[in-house]
């Protein structure tokens, strides 16, 4: 499973190529089931190399365009879930004891890769060449090159964005985690996985999102309702009726 959130003038092209490339590399890897975390690390970095070398007819400009990526691999034999991500497309699991009950807990599988996080800021500032983290005066901390006011990204990891990788400390190295679903199901038989772009999480907390989708028996209407709720909150907050991209994916584990 995966969600991608493109940014920049050709973010849609970058996200599309990243989606195709990552899935292909991962599914063809002979160790994907036995060394999943290492394989995710490898294929993210390899995808970045492929994106950087993409012909202009495929991606007209990958220098200033990129994408987030959050991927999850559900190994049904080993009953594990491995999640790898760059950027701020969040993944969570809602946990409850029965279909009729409320979600009792939410397990955050990812941490948004934001430049103001101490770990990310230190990595950016110690990169070669180093980047800078600057508050934009409104809502976000952004990443800039040491000697220029570019690229100004509000995330610290992404695919694509060649200039940011070369001059501002961005990386395509994912954070990866694995959870044992057998252990989780022992206490909470009902587990619901959500992968959503930040257009969902801007105004909806993780627990509220899992509770909202729990009222549906099927994933499609649940995701449609979550997306609509996200849209409505964007419209209520914006004088100019502007919304971020909204993508929601739900899986019953």
pLDDT at 130: 95
pLDDT at 26: 98
pLDDT at 6: 96
Q: What is the CATH number of the domain that holds 215?
A: 3.60.40.10
In whole angstroms, give the CA distance from residue 63 to residue 13: 12
Pairs from 131-139 (Cβ < 8 Å, separation ≥ 24): 131/164, 131/167, 131/168, 131/169, 131/170, 132/168
pLDDT at 99: 61
- Give Cβ neighbours of residue 194 (< 8 Å, ≥ 6 apart): 91, 92, 93, 94, 206, 209, 210, 213, 226, 248, 249, 250
pLDDT at 96: 83
What residue ranges of the chain have pLDDT lower than 70? Answer: 98-103, 239-241
DSSP secondary structure code for residue 193 in this structure: E
pLDDT at 236: 87
Asked whether the whole model's pTM tops 0.85, one would answer yes
In whole angstroms, give the CA distance from residue 157 to residue 48: 11
In whole angstroms, give the CA distance from residue 196 to residue 5: 9
pLDDT at 214: 85
In whole angstroms, give the CA distance from residue 237 to residue 132: 30
Question: What is the total count of domains within the chain?
Answer: 1
Domain hosting residue 158, numbered range: 2-252
Q: Do residues 122 and 232 lie in contact, with contact meaning Cβ atoms separated by under 8 Å?
A: no
Helices (H), the chain: 11-28, 36-52, 118-125, 162-167, 181-187, 198-201, 206-213, 219-237
Token digits of residue 66: 């990129």
pLDDT at 101: 63
């Amino acid at each position: 499973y995966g969600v991608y959130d493109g940014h920049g003038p050709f973010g849609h092209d970058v996200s599309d190529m990243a989606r195709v490339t990552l899935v292909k590399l991962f599914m063809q890897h002979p160790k994907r089931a036995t060394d999943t975390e290492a394989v995710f690390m490898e294929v993210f970095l390899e995808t970045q190399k492929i994106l950087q070398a993409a012909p202009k007819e495929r991606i007209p400009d990958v220098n200033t365009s990129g994408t987030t990526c959050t991927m999850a691999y559900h190994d049904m034999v080993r009953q594990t879930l491995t999640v790898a991500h760059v950027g701020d497309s969040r993944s969570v699991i809602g946990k409850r004891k029965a279909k009729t009950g409320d979600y009792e807990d939410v397990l955050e599988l990812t941490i948004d890769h934001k430049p103001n996080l101490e770990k990310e800021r230190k990595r950016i500032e110690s990169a070669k060449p180093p980047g800078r983290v600057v508050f934009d005066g409104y809502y976000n901390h952004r990443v800039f090159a040491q000697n220029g006011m570019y690229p100004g990204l509000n995330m610290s990891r992404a695919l694509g964005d060649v200039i940011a990788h070369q001059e501002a400390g961005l990386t395509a190295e994912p954070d990866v985690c694995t959870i044992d679903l057998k252990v989780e199901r022992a206490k909470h038989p009902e587990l619901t996985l959500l992968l959503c772009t930040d257009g969902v999480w801007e105004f909806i907390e993780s627990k509220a999102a899992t509770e909202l989708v729990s009222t549906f028996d099927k994933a499609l209407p649940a995701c449609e309702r979550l997306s609509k709720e996200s849209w409505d909150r964007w419209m209520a907050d914006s004088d100019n009726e502007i919304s971020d991209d909204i993508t929601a994916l739900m899986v019953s584990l």
